Amino acid sequence: MTDELRSPGRTTGELRGGGATAGELRPGAFREALVRFRHVYKIYRIADTGVVALAGVDFDVREGEFLAIVGPSGSGKSTILNLIGGLDLATAGVVEVEDRDLGRLPEGELTAYRRDRVGFIWQGTARNLVPYLTVAENVRLPAAARGMRVPAAARTTMELLEVVGLADRAKHRPGMLSGGEQQRVAVAVALANVPKILLADEPTAELDSGSAALVLDAFASVNREFGVTVVMVTHDLLAARRASRRLRLRDGQLVIEAAPIEPMSGDGRLRLPDEAIDALGGMDLEVEVRDGEVRIRRRGEGGGVRA
């Protein structure tokens, strides 16, 4: 990586979080809270009915951490991302990012916040990239919107594509890439505006396991090398385990702060994570061992969770 990408200042060096060194942001060495949720409620109005998406949620996201938010569909995971990203506002409570209450920002400042401080990666690969632009042009677009000069934007583009391992695809259009490659390009696009925080909504949901692993490697690399704070929501239990910390939601409430667990006990018993039980719909499960895999599923159904 070049010195420009690593150095502080209003360049891609801001990926270091203001010039911190790799040692300062080593795994587990987090700074103060970057994001604070305080008694946050979000209620959506549908016709004459109020739908509660979040019900009094409190948590912090520390600067420089990789946080995964897990839980069943409808638990409020994506709502949290929308609130952090300034795409929506809380019905009640406070959402603070960098000590600023997003609910009190004028619209112009909120737009600047989304443009300059946040990178977004969506589940659907088509939402992340402009199909008629090349890979390099897609990555340059946010840099241009931020006012970066053409030579610097071109240099930054290639550096970011090297980070995600796709510099050789710079002149290809998205339709010429696999789904996993498109999501890795999306990581580069999300970093092109030099964000303080990277938000990923089910980024591996449409990918095979090999492609998903490469996308998660890109997240881990960006988090580890540059200290960018990553918040990812996912149903993928293996993806969640790549994070340094996990939060678990159910029915709009924070149920537990999930800590890493040892899947195998000393006497050989396999412990299934609570979120896997939630995803499978309860305790009436059966286990199949085949071709070196343990497959856990609802009794009488195919598919399931692999361990």
Where in the chain are the domains? 33-255, 264-298
Q: How far is the C-alpha of 216 from the C-alpha of 165, rounded, in Å?
A: 13
pLDDT at 26: 40
Identify residue 107 by its one-letter amino acid code.
Answer: E
Position 144 scores a pLDDT of: 80
- pLDDT at residue 6, rounded to an integer: 43
C-alpha 83 chain-centroid distance: 14
- Determine the topology of domain 33-255 in CATH: Rossmann fold (3.40.50)
Output the pLDDT for position 100: 94
DSSP state of 271: P
Give all strands of the β-sheet with 293-298 in edge-to-edge order: 285-290, 293-298, 305-306
CA distance 17 to 8: 8
| Predicted pLDDT at 226 | 84
Q: How far is CA 137 from CA 112, 124, 142, 173, in A?
A: 22, 19, 10, 9
Q: In 3D, which of 124, 71, 84 has the Cα closest to residue 240?
A: 71
pLDDT at 49: 85
Rounded Cα distance between 200 and 81, Å, is 8
Provide the pLDDT for residue 284: 66
pLDDT at 294: 66
Enumerate the H helices of the chain as residue ranges.
3-6, 77-84, 107-117, 125-128, 135-145, 150-163, 179-191, 209-226, 237-240, 274-280
Residues in the chain with pLDDT values less than 70 = 1-31, 125, 256-285, 289-294, 298-307
Query: What's residue 251's pLDDT?
Result: 86
Between CA 161 and CA 46 the distance in angstroms is 42
Nearest in space to 232 (alpha carbons), one of 271, 262, 190: 190
Q: Is 173 in contact with 135 (CB distance < 8 Å)?
A: yes
The pLDDT of residue 194:
85
Up-side HSE of residue 265: CA atoms within 13 Å toward CB?
7
- State the pLDDT at residue 264: 52
Say what the pLDDT of residue 28 is. 42
* Residue 290, phi then psi, degrees to nearest 5: -155, 135
Under 8 Å between Cβ of 157 and 148: no
> What gap in Å lies between CA 266 and CA 269, rounded to an integer?
7
